[in-house]
């Protein structure tokens, strides 16, 4: 890989990592907004079953056995919209992070190694021919 290819590859990798560092906070902000707009407390999740919309605590047994707090249609809509938006941004962030790290690793691995011969010379100097022993 030439010097320009090395620079371009490193730049692409760095931009992918930077994009990941932007996507992840956006995903967290949408997750926070999901809970705020829908009124679902942290540690709970929204459920739509049999035409009813409610939220229940995470963990435990089946949803039917947990305390169910009713939700309005608008609250459930806010939950769903922000849930999918947060997932999308989180997926983009993880994808950019993994791609950026992979590109930077490849750029580093295939970096052109410096040569010890002077510029313009295409072959390594050879050792001088051995002299025969004086006899």
Contact assessment for residue 56 and residue 69, using Cβ atoms and an 8 Å cutoff:
yes
Residue 83 and residue 77: Cα distance in Å, rounded?
A: 10
Please tell me the pTM assigned to this model.
Answer: 0.71
Q: How high is the pLDDT of residue 1?
A: 59
Q: Residue 121's pLDDT is what?
A: 60
Res 94: pLDDT: 97
> What pLDDT tens digit does each residue of the chain (135 aa) get?
567 778 888 999 999 999 999 999 999 999 999 999 999 999 999 999 989 999 999 988 898 899 999 999 999 999 999 999 999 999 999 999 999 999 999 888 877 666 565 566 656 656 666 677 775
Instruction: Specify the pairing of strand 44-49 against strand 69-70.
Output: unpaired
SS3 of 121, please? coil
φ and ψ at residue 111, rounded to 5 degrees? -65, 140
β-sheet bridge partners, residue 69: 55
Question: Which token pair is 96?
Answer: 């950019």
């Amino acid at each position: 890989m030439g010097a320009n290819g090395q620079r371009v590859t490193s730049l692409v990798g760095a931009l992918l990592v930077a994009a990941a560092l932007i996507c992840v906070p956006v995903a967290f902000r949408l997750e926070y907004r999901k809970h705020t707009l829908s009124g679902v407390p942290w540690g709970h999740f929204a459920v739509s079953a049999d035409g009813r919309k409610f939220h229940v605590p995470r963990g435990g047994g089946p949803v039917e056995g947990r305390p169910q707090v009713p939700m309005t249609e608008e609250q459930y809509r806010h939950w769903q919209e922000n849930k999918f938006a947060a997932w999308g941004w989180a997926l983009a962030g993880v994808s950019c992070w993994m791609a950026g790290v992979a590109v930077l690793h490849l750029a580093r691995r295939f970096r052109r190694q410096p040569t010890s011969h002077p510029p313009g010379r295409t072959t390594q100097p050879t050792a001088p021919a051995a002299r025969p022993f004086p006899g």
